[in-house]
Structure 1
Amino acid sequence: MNSARLFAGGALVGSVLTATGFVLVQEQLRLAKDESETKDRLFKYGVPQTNITMYSYKGHSLAYDNAKRIPMWVAELLTHDTLHHSKVAHRHQSHFKLDPAVPAEYQATNSDYLGSGWSRGHMAAAANHVQDQQEMDDTFYLTNVVPQLLNNNIGYWSRLELYCRDLAAHHKEVRVFSGPLFLPHISDGKGNDGKKYVHYEVIGRNGVAVPTHLYKVIMADDGDGEPHLGVFVIPNEPITGDKSLQQYQVTLKELEGHLGMKLTPHLDQKMCKDLCAIDGCKMMSREKFELIKYAQRLRSSHDLESLEAVWREMKQRGHHPDTYTIKQYSQRKEQLLGTHNINT
Structure 2
Amino acid sequence: MSKTTLAIIAAASAASGAAITATIFSGRNRKPNPTPTSAPFPSSTTSAPLPSQVHHLKELIPPVNPNGLFQYGFPGPVNDLHPTLSTTSAFDRRTRNPIWVAEHITPASISANNADRKHSIFEEDLTIPEKFRAKLKDYYRSGYDRGHQVPAADAKWSQSALDQTFLLSNMCPQVGDGFNRDYWAHFEDFCRRLTNNYPSVRIVTGPLYLPKRDPDDGKWRVSYEVIGSPPNVAVPTHFYKVIFAEDGKPGGNVSLGAFVLPNARIDSEKPLKDFEVPIDAIERAAGLDFATELPATRRRRLCEEVRCSIIVREYMDRHKDLMGTSPGKKVLPASR
- When normalised by structure 2's length, the TM-score is 0.73
Q: Which amino acid aligns with 1:59?
A: S
Higher helix share: 1
Q: Which amino acid aligns with 1:293?
A: M
2:72 counterpart SS class: coil
Partner of 2:146: 120
Whether 1:136 and 2:159 are equivalent positions in the alignment is no
- State the shift of 1:49 in Å: 2.2
Whether 1:254 and 2:278 are equivalent positions in the alignment is no
* Match runs of 1:137-286 below 5 Å: 137-151=163-177, 152-188=179-215, 192-205=216-229, 206-224=231-249, 225-269=252-296, 271-284=298-311, 286=312
Q: Which amino acid aligns with 1:184?
A: P
Whether 1:293 and 2:316 are equivalent positions in the alignment is yes
1: CA distance, partners of 2:296 / 2:269:
30
Partner of 2:125: 99
- Among the aligned pairs, what percent are the same residue? 35
* Match runs of 1:306-317 below 5 Å: none
- Give the conservation status (yes or no) of the 8 Å contact 2:174–2:180: yes
2: CA distance, partners of 1:247 / 1:216:
14
Deviations 1:59-108 (A, max 9, x none): 110000001000000000111111112x1211011111111211121111
- Give the conservation status (yes or no) of the 8 Å contact 1:120–1:145: yes
- When normalised by structure 1's length, the TM-score is 0.72
2: CA distance, partners of 1:149 / 1:160:
15
1:88 counterpart SS class: coil
Structure 2 alignment gaps of length 5 or more: 1-43, 45-55, 321-336
- Give the conservation status (yes or no) of the 8 Å contact 2:203–2:241: yes
- Give the conservation status (yes or no) of the 8 Å contact 2:182–2:268: no
Structure 1 alignment gaps of length 5 or more: 1-16, 18-26, 298-344
Higher strand share: 2
2: CA distance, partners of 1:296 / 1:227:
28
1:53 counterpart SS class: strand
Q: In 2 relative to 1, CA 294–275 (structure 1 residues): closer, same or farther, beyond 3 Å?
A: closer
- Give the conservation status (yes or no) of the 8 Å contact 1:246–1:280: no
Structure with higher RCO (Cα < 8 A, 6+ apart): 2
Q: In 2 relative to 1, CA 126–260 (structure 1 residues): closer, same or farther, beyond 3 Å?
A: same
2: CA distance, partners of 1:246 / 1:296:
24
- Give the conservation status (yes or no) of the 8 Å contact 1:60–1:75: yes
- Give the conservation status (yes or no) of the 8 Å contact 1:94–1:140: yes
- Give the conservation status (yes or no) of the 8 Å contact 1:99–1:143: yes
1:74 counterpart SS class: strand
1:273 counterpart SS class: strand
2:261 counterpart SS class: strand
Deviations 1:280-299 (A, max 9, x none): 21221x2xx02x636979xx
